[in-house]
C-alpha cells in the first residue's frame, strides 16, 4: 500500500476555502484515493473518493493531477463544525468490496471564528 504524507495541522477561519494536500508518490495503478473525516470520540466518516482528475460532491472536491502522485481535498467555506482530523488514504478495491486502508496520523484542521 502506498504511503501518504500530509500536513500535521492547519488553521483556517470561518467562510474560507481550505485545501489539504496529500502526497502519495508510490501509488499503484489500481489504487484509488479516499479521504475521511474524524471528530473527537467518533469513528472516521467517508468524505470523498477518486481515481483521477476532479471529483465533487455536496461536501468537498478532490483534485488529482495526471501523475496521481498527490491529491488535494478542498473544503469550500468552512465552518466551526469542520474542525476535525482529515485522513488521506490510498487503497485498492478488491473483489467482494474488500478494501485495505492504512491510516496515517492525518491533518488536524482547526477552524476559528
Partner 1 sequence: NAGVTQTPKFQVLKTGQSMTLQCAQDMNHNSMYWYRQDPGMGLRLIYYSASEGTTDKGEVPNGYNVSRLNKREFSLRLESAAPSQTSVYFCASSDSYEQYFGPGTRLTVT
* Site of interaction with partner 1 (CB under 8 A): 32, 34, 36, 41-46, 49, 87, 93-94, 96-106
Question: What φ, ψ does residue 80 adopt, rounded to 5°?
Answer: -55, -30
Smallest distance from partner 1 to CB 87, Å: 6
For the stretch 74-113, what's the b/e string if a residue is b when 16 or more beta carbons lie within 10 angstroms of its beta carbon? bbeebeeebbbbbbbbbbeeeeeeeeeeeeeebbebebee
Q: How many CA atoms lie within 13 A of 29 on its CB side?
A: 0
Smallest distance from partner 1 to CB 26, Å: 17
Using the minimum distance from each CB to partner 1, give the nearer residue, 96 or 113: 96
Residue 70 burial (CB count, 10 A): 19
Using the minimum distance from each CB to partner 1, give the nearer residue, 13 or 103: 103
Smallest distance from partner 1 to CB 15, Å: 29
Using the minimum distance from each CB to partner 1, give the nearer residue, 42 or 81: 42
Smallest distance from partner 1 to CB 73, Å: 15
Amino acid at each position: 500500500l502506498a504511503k501518504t504524507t500530509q500536513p500535521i495541522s492547519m488553521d483556517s477561519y470561518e467562510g474560507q476555502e481550505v485545501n489539504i494536500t496529500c502526497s502519495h508518490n508510490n501509488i499503484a495503478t489500481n489504487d484509488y484515493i479516499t479521504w475521511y473525516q474524524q471528530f473527537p470520540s467518533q469513528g472516521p466518516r467517508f468524505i470523498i473518493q477518486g481515481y483521477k482528475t476532479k471529483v465533487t460532491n455536496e461536501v468537498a472536491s478532490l483534485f488529482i493531477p495526471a501523475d496521481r502522485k498527490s491529491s488535494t481535498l478542498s473544503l469550500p467555506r468552512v465552518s466551526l463544525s469542520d474542525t476535525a482530523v482529515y485522513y488521506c488514504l490510498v487503497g485498492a478495491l478488491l473483489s467482494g468490496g474488500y478494501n485495505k486502508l492504512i491510516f496515517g496520523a492525518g491533518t488536524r484542521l482547526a477552524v476559528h471564528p
